[in-house]
């Protein structure tokens, strides 16, 4: 492993990309410490004790939301804008045609950027008005609120720009690496909290040991599921192009067990945490009742949470994998699945395989997501988001994808990879 990393460091272009990526991540971590003007930190800290959506979002911002820094919204608006663009691409024929061409994809990327700015401004306005109602601003002045809104929006746009720079000039996906960095930076703080609880006698050693062992088992399971895939064999028939014989080889279609990634968990968690967040910003009785109904201690909370994850998994998988489109592409290029006729029969087979694989992946996601709740009720320990299955899914997925990119760069330069 060390020898392979040395090989990566010896390649000038690859070394430059790695250093550039590390530099941008340092800028991201430095920005976490820059607070929004006019904030009262003590009031902001009290919101995290109420189990609101803030506590979940803070995991991906690496403490930026807890500090209410200029990066407090992290790249959430960009992710939401990307999802909206993907959904609209499915329902707007013109956009669907654009997504199949290079210029069209660049145009859709511009739409995503514009959407990010709009969503960032809307989210910043909602957050600022919410904390203003809680007395978290040093002054109720509308100009101070506008200054906070502009600071939050500018922070998100700046992060989006840095992420695209990393994707273009660095290693890995910049947006994913920011989430990765936020989660990893939260681990020392949570381990420190765990040590304090143990040292002060607020919990027993076997509770801490149980938490760490289950986290380790979850880590192994996440790696196994993340790399797991069903390979559907494909055969390409021979055909004559000019004077050359083309085709006549075998390959496969890789269908991953967890194609949706962690998106369904984020959607479900955000949806269920929304009532508690609304209750924190208003004194309305209906909001308090709604928050009490969706409290994580209620017996039906886990069932609703798991059902939402399964539903979102099927929905998001259907967005990113279209059996009809895959079958049509196979037919165009002379490919077929042995024993299955091209066209609709192939699409039906792929649809059955995807549905079965997605069911396994959805159940795994649901189990990983609800495991921390069971551990919290079993051991009495508070929720440690950075040690949860959701965080591990993101960290492992981003780490493996980044390592694969480095390995691809090494193989291009005749070095052995380090994922073998």
- Cα of first residue to Cα of last residue in the chain, in angstroms, is 10
Q: Is residue 23 part of a domain?
A: yes
pLDDT at residue 300, as a whole number: 78
Q: Is residue 178 part of a domain?
A: yes
CA distances from 354 to 88, 225, 357 (A): 23, 15, 5
Q: Are residues 127 and 272 in the same domain?
A: no
Q: Is residue 282 part of a domain?
A: yes
Q: Is residue 191 part of a domain?
A: no
Q: Are residues 37 and 167 in the same domain?
A: yes
Question: What whole-number distance in Å separates Cα of residue 145 and Cα of residue 217?
Answer: 46
Q: Are residues 234 and 97 in the same domain?
A: no
Burial 192-203 (b: 16+ CB within 10 A, else e): eebeebbeeeeb
CATH of the domain at 157: 1.10.3370.10
Q: Are residues 19 and 126 in the same domain?
A: yes
Q: Are residues 178 and 251 in the same domain?
A: no
Burial 206-238 (b: 16+ CB within 10 A, else e): ebbeebeebbeebeebbeebbeeeeebebbbee
pLDDT at residue 253, as a whole number: 87
Sign of CA dihedral 157, 263, 386, 278: positive
The pLDDT tens digits along the chain (420 residues) read: 566 667 777 778 888 888 999 999 999 988 888 888 888 887 777 766 655 456 666 766 777 887 888 988 888 888 888 878 887 887 888 888 888 788 888 899 999 999 999 989 988 888 888 788 777 788 888 888 899 999 999 999 999 999 999 988 888 888 888 888 888 888 887 788 778 877 787 777 777 777 778 778 888 888 888 788 888 888 877 666 666 666 567 888 888 888 887 778 777 776 777 776 666 666 677 777 877 777 766 777 778 888 888 888 888 888 788 888 888 888 887 788 888 888 888 889 999 999 999 998 888 888 887 777 677 666 666 656 666 667 777 788 788 888 888 887 777 766 555 445
Question: What whole-number distance in Å separates Cα of residue 133 and Cα of residue 121?
Answer: 18
pLDDT at residue 57, as a whole number: 67
Q: Is residue 403 part of a domain?
A: no
Question: What whole-number distance in Å separates Cα of residue 222 and Cα of residue 265?
Answer: 14
Q: Are residues 289 and 149 in the same domain?
A: no
Q: Is residue 201 part of a domain?
A: no
The residues facing 137 across adjacent strands are 39
The residues facing 231 across adjacent strands are 254
Q: Are residues 14 and 149 in the same domain?
A: yes
- Residue 240, exposed/middle/buried by CB under 10 A (0-12, 13-18, 19+)? exposed
Q: Are residues 258 and 172 in the same domain?
A: no
Q: Are residues 131 and 271 in the same domain?
A: no
Q: Are residues 153 and 276 in the same domain?
A: no
Q: Is residue 208 part of a domain?
A: no
The domain boundary residue, chosen from 131, 155, 184: 184
pLDDT at residue 118, as a whole number: 92
Q: Are residues 17 and 161 in the same domain?
A: yes
The whole-model pTM stands at 0.78
Q: Is residue 216 part of a domain?
A: no
The domain boundary residue, chosen from 149, 184, 219: 184
| Tally of structural domains, the chain | 2
Q: Are residues 244 and 147 in the same domain?
A: no
- Domain residues for the domain of 59 are 1-184
- Residues with Cβ within 8 Å of 114's Cβ and at least 6 positions away in sequence, in order, are none
SS3 35: strand
């Amino acid at each position: 492993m060390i020898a392979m990393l040395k090989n990566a460091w010896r390649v000038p272009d690859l070394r430059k990309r790695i250093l550039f990526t590390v530099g941008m991540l340092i800028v991201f971590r430095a920005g976490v410490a820059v607070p929004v003007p006019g904030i009262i930190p003590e009031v902001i800290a009290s919101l995290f004790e109420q189990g609101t959506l803030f506590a979940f979002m803070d995991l991906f911002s690496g403490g930026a939301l807890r500090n209410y820094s200029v990066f407090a919204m992290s790249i959430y608006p960009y992710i939401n804008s990307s999802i909206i663009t993907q959904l609209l691409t499915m329902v707007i024929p013109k956009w669907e045609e654009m997504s199949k061409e290079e210029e069209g994809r660049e145009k859709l990327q511009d739409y995503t950027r514009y959407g990010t700015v709009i969503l960032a401004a809307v989210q910043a306005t909602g957050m600022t008005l919410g904390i203003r109602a809680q007395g978290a601003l040093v002054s109720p002045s509308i100009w101070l609120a506008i200054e906070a809104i502009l600071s939050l929006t500018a922070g998100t746009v700046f992060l989006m720009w840095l992420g695209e720079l990393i994707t273009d000039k660095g290693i890995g996906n910049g947006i994913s690496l920011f989430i990765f960095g936020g989660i990893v930076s939260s681990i020392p703080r949570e381990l420190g909290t765990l040590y304090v609880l143990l040292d002060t006698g607020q919990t027993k050693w076997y509770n801490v040991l149980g938490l760490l062992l289950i986290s380790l088992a979850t880590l192994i399971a996440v790696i196994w599921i993340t790399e797991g895939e069903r390979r559907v064999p494909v055969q390409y028939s021979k055909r004559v192009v000019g004077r050359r014989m083309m085709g006549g080889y075998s390959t496969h279609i890789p269908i991953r067990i967890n194609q949706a990634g962690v998106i369904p968990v984020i959607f479900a968690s955000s949806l269920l945490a929304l009532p508690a967040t609304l209750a924190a910003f208003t004194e309305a009785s209906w909001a308090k009742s709604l928050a009490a109904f969706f409290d994580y201690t209620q017996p039906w909370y886990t069932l609703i949470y798991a059902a939402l994850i399964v539903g979102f998994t099927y929905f998001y998988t259907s967005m990113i994998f279209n059996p009809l489109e895959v079958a049509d592409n196979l037919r165009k290029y002379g490919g077929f699945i042995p024993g299955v006729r091209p066209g609709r029969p192939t699409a039906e087979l792929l649809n059955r395989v995807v549905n079965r694989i997605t069911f396994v992946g959805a159940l795994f996601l649901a189990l990983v997501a609800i495991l921390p709740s069971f551990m919290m009720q079993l051991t009495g320990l508070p929720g440690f988001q950075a040690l949860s299955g959701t965080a591990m899914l993101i960290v492992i997925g981003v780490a493996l994808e980044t390592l694969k990119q480095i390995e691809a760069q090494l193989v291009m330069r005749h070095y052995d990879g380090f994922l073998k």
